[in-house]
Chain A
Amino acid sequence: MWIELIFYLAFVSQILLISCYYPKRILERMDFVFKHCPFETHKKLYPKGYEKTLEGKVTFKVLNRAILVIGVLLLTVFFVGTFNGTMQLNKINLLPMAYGLLQAIPFFIIEISALKQFKLMRNLNSATKRQADLNPRSLFNYVSPVRFYAAVIMFFVCSYIIFSFNDFEVSFDVAVLMGSMLLCNGLFVGLGYTLLHGKKLDPHQSPKDRHIMTTAAFHSYTSVSILVSVFFILNRSVDHYALDDWEALFNSLYWQVLMLVSTGAALKLTNLEKVNYDVYKTTS
């Protein structure tokens, strides 16, 4: 019974962390920007207009509240079900992952919206003067070699463990796992390459802020890559060692750690008070 209790504690933590704590911090940051960079003086920061940006904030808030309510309802239903014997923990092991995907939707929307906003900023950018740094950018300017090679080593260790659990035979399951891992790491390689050698996303961003944002992004990519490898190792271990009762707990903790090292680290690394907002001023 104590495994069930620990799982539900972890699930409560997952609901609060991802649908309450992080949205609250992001909304506070939005308010900070709105307050310190009003539309009247920083028009470049609001390419879609102030009302549209405010609408985005409200949508993010409402979506997170709705997901929080869904989480509380799910928690109540499954908690009651588990403790009156109608539900078993090994039957709901995908609940934290499925709910986690739902929790990720507002964050995904906010990312897509930011990309669209940057594209609009680039299209509206009429400045004739353009600035560039005369220093070459390389991967290790943004991420430590230890962190980078740890991610690479974890990828190979994870591949080895997946194959070893399957007696080094390629089955459909193994192919799916390997494909997912390659796809995920391939996405990070592509995004990393674009950040290093591609065009500036935000045309007004100062070189210092760009460096901070790129560092935060690489920090997040390497951490998530390591965690994906850890997750697949845990996933196969659960099957191999028949740890079905632990799987739901692993999944919930995994999802929370994933958010801590991606969104959490990004929020920690980018200090809004140190961002140069003068570049967004209408007169600059």
Chain B
Amino acid sequence: MQIIIDIDDPVPIFSQLVEQIKQAVAGEKIQPGDPLPSIRQLANDLDVNSKTVAKAYKLLERDAVIQSRGYRGTFVHPEAKDNCQIDIKAWATSQFEEFILAMRDAGVTDSEMRITFNNVLNGK
């Protein structure tokens, strides 16, 4: 299974990696439990910074598409096929929509929401 990235593509490299690994899982080109290359190997083969690959792996691990097993390496998650169908951005959008509606019903203005959101996000 080959992975191809385009460094001139406006889509960030880590997103291209995440998408292609998810597509490989969805298309059953890689199976649950299959080992994945190490961060260093993939970064060297693609000639990109290892932090870029690490970021992609971190996002895939968060989405439970891959799992890290310490020194044994990184593997495709047993539930990867189901998990890679979940669009976390769409889920977050719907959660925010519900929350904003509830706030507006309670009479909170958009400006107050923005200020409060920024304060909470920045830990103030």
Contacts and interface: CB of A to CB of B under 8 A. Distances in A.
A198 B38 CA distance: 12
Contacts, number: 64
A198 B1 CA distance: 20
Contacts of B42: 132
Interface in B30-67: 30, 35-38, 40-42, 44-48
Contact of A130 (B37, B38, B41, B46): B46
A44 to B, nearest CB: 16
Q: How large is the interface on A (under 10, 10 to 19, 20 to 34, 35 or more residues)?
A: 10 to 19
Nearest to B76: A134
A203 B46 CA distance: 10
Nearest to B1: A134
B4 A134 contact: no
Contacts of A199: 44-45, 47
B3 A131 contact: yes
B24 to A, nearest CB: 6
A200 B36 CA distance: 18
A130 B5 contact: yes
Contact of A134 (B6, B7, B36): B36
A94 B35 CA distance: 51
Which one of A130, A131, A133, A137 has the greatest number of beta carbons of chain B within 10 Å?
A130
B37 A133 contact: yes
Contacts of B35: 135-136
A133 B5 contact: no
B73 interface: yes
B40 A136 contact: no
Contact of B30 (A134, A198, A207): A134
Contacts of B6: 128-130
13 contacts: A128-B7, A128-B8, A129-B7, A131-B2, A131-B3, A131-B45, A132-B42, A133-B3, A134-B3, A134-B36, A136-B41, A137-B37, A197-B44
Interface of B: 1-9, 21, 24, 30, 35-38, 40-42, 44-48, 73
